[in-house]
């Protein structure tokens, strides 16, 4: 167990390279079980969630090896797959364990999956996954443990009742080798879903409509190995932009892929924050006019999340912290997870002026002088928001349960210290 000890109030400056997309790495690792041939994945972030997914894959008989002499390169192979039953211990470590359901069902015709673990950010229903599997011909039983069977998956027209990212990914992985054609409507279209589709096509799949909410999949007999590079983690890039603003720093973010930041750019502009782009690099200048830009008529603006290409829900925690340092008032509306905003009481304890209206909405007025505090990370993104708040605060902060943060951010202490952060990762006694 570790904690972060942070001495805030120092501007962060320098160059940092964005990691590969965590949310693309996890389904792509699961998808390696769709073939018995080797898959090479590049630009894989060195985070806890990746290591847990690799551990689950090994427990199923697959192999997962990180190349020691090549940063971010992993080799996966599902040739040794010998079970389709995931243990409760493994499933409980990570919500993304459910992503093995689609590949296992397609490859073996059966899956036994205990309820997945993951962040505690409100109810996260799984119904969409199993309705999609049933639409492809699977039988589903749920009695504490999910048991799925399918003699042969058949292509079908699926309309998802919500644009769930992981349900879309599971449906894609189940359909890619199903007999016949599948159409998935109301599909999620996030960059990580696009990465999964592009990897499957590189393996011999036939998926079109990538990047839209209607996917067409022509089932193929089998898939083969490939060498695939993951895209940039736009959530991490957004976090670093917020970090630069809160600490009054100046950051250059390499491998940032600004194409995926169009709505994020609009949201940051509402807080007076802008950046420059050159190719795949983003430069966040230090001289920012941190002032809320009112809507027409002088109305208080709103930053709210929605499925892609809307503002990403994983960045609402980050934007809440940024808003505490901006002159003016803004409404943060987190529509998709009912418990994600509950971390704001910790920000209020640090001196932030925030009114939590209900589980989904918070009114933030700034700027506020934040003071160091003892904090506990409840989930990946709120944890990173706390790191940003601590780095912008006066005095020392201690953040506990940093395992949650390190599930999604690669070598965070080392990378931020290179930018001038006064931050230590300390072992918790006992």
Which residues have C-beta within 8 Å of that of residue 239, sequence separation ≥ 6? Answer: 315, 318, 381, 384, 388, 409
Per-residue pLDDT of the chain (430 residues; tens, 9 = 90+): 899 999 999 999 999 999 999 999 999 999 999 999 999 999 999 999 999 999 999 999 999 999 999 999 999 999 999 999 999 999 988 989 999 999 999 999 999 998 887 544 344 578 999 999 999 999 999 888 899 999 999 999 999 999 999 999 999 999 999 999 999 999 999 999 999 999 999 999 999 999 999 999 999 999 999 999 999 999 999 999 999 999 999 999 999 999 999 999 999 999 999 999 999 999 999 989 999 999 999 999 999 999 999 999 999 999 999 999 999 999 999 987 777 788 999 999 999 999 999 989 999 999 999 999 999 998 898 999 999 999 999 999 999 999 999 999 999 999 999 999 999 999 998 6
Query: What fold, for 2-19+232-427?
Result: UDP-n-acetylglucosamine1-carboxyvinyl-transferase; Chain (3.65.10)
| Residue-level pLDDT at 118 | 53
Tokens of 54: 């690799």
- In the 3-class helix/strand/coil scheme, how is 352-405 assigned residue by residue? CEEEEEECCEEEEEECCCCECCEEECCCHHHHHHHHHHHHHCEEEEEEECCHHH
Q: Which CATH superfamily is domain 22-229 in?
A: Enolpyruvate transferase domain (3.65.10.10)
Which residues have C-beta within 8 Å of that of residue 280, sequence separation ≥ 6? Answer: 232, 254, 255, 256, 257, 258
**Catalytic hit among 46, 49, 69, 119:** 119
Asked whether this chain's domains 2-19+232-427 and 22-229 adopt the same fold, the reply is yes
Whether this prediction's pTM lies above 0.75 is answered by yes
**Closest by CA position to 335, among listed 299, 360, 364, 307:** 360
In the residue annotation, 119 being an active-site residue is answered as yes
| Residue-level pLDDT at 323 | 98
Helices (H), 60-126: 88-91, 101-108
| Residue-level pLDDT at 342 | 86
Which whole-number Å values give the CA distances from 198 to 45, 170, 227, 378, in the listed order? 18, 15, 11, 33
Q: Can you give the residue ranges of every domain in the chain?
A: 2-19+232-427, 22-229
Q: Which helix (H) or strand (E) holds 74?
A: strand 74-77
| Residue-level pLDDT at 287 | 84
**Closest by CA position to 83, among listed 104, 65, 63, 64:** 104
Q: How far apart are CA 385 and CA 238, in angstroms?
A: 11
């Amino acid at each position: 167990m570790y904690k972060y000890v942070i001495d805030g109030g120092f501007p962060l400056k320098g160059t940092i390279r964005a990691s590969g997309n965590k949310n693309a790495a996890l389904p792509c690792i699961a998808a390696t079980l769709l073939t018995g041939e080797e898959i090479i994945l590049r630009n894989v972030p060195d985070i806890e969630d990746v290591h847990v997914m690799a551990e689950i894959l090994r427990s199923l008989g697959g192999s997962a090896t990180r190349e020691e002499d090549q940063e971010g390169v992993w080799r996966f192979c599902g040739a040794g797959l010998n079970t389709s039953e995931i243990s409760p211990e493994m499933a409980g470590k990570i919500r993304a364990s459910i992503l093995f359901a689609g590949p296992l069902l397609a490859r073996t015709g059966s899956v036994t999956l205990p309820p997945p673990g993951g962040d505690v950010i409100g109810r996260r229903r799984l119904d969409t996954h199993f309705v999609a599997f049933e639409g492809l011909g699977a039988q589903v039983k749920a009695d504490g443990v999910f048991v799925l069977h399918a003699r042969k998956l058949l292509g079908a027209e699926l309309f998802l009742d919500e644009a769930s990212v992981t349900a879309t990914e599971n449906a894609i992985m189940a359909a890619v080798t199903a007999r016949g054609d599948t159409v998935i409507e109301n599909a999620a279209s996030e960059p990580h879903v696009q990465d999964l589709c592009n990897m499957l096509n590189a393996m011999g799949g036939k998926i079109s409509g990538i990047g839209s909410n209607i996917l067409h999949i022509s089932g193929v007999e089998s898939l083969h190995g490939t060498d695939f590079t993951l895209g940039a983690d736009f959530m991490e890039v957004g976090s670093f932009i917020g970090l630069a603003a809160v600490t009054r720093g100046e950051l250059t973010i390499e491998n940032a892929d600004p194409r995926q930041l169009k709505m994020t750019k609009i949201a940051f502009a509402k807080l007076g924050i802008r950046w420059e782009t050159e190719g795949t690099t983003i430069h966040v200048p230090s001289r920012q006019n941190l002032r809320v830009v009112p809507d027409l008529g002088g109305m208080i603006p709103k930053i709210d999340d929605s499925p892609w290409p809307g503002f990403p829900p994983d960045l609402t925690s980050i934007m809440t912290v940024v808003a505490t340092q901006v002159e003016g008032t803004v409404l943060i509306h987190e529509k998709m997870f009912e418990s994600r905003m509950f971390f704001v009481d910790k920000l209020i304890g640090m001196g932030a002026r925030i009114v939590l209206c209900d589980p989904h909405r918070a009114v933030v007025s700034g700027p506020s002088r934040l003071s160091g505090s003892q904090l506990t990370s409840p989930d990946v993104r709120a944890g990173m928001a706390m790191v940003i708040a601590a780095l912008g605060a006066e005095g020392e902060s201690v953040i506990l349960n940093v395992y949650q943060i390190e599930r999604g951010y690669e070598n965070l202490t080392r990378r931020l210290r290179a930018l001038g952060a006064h931050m230590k990762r300390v072992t918790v006694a006992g």
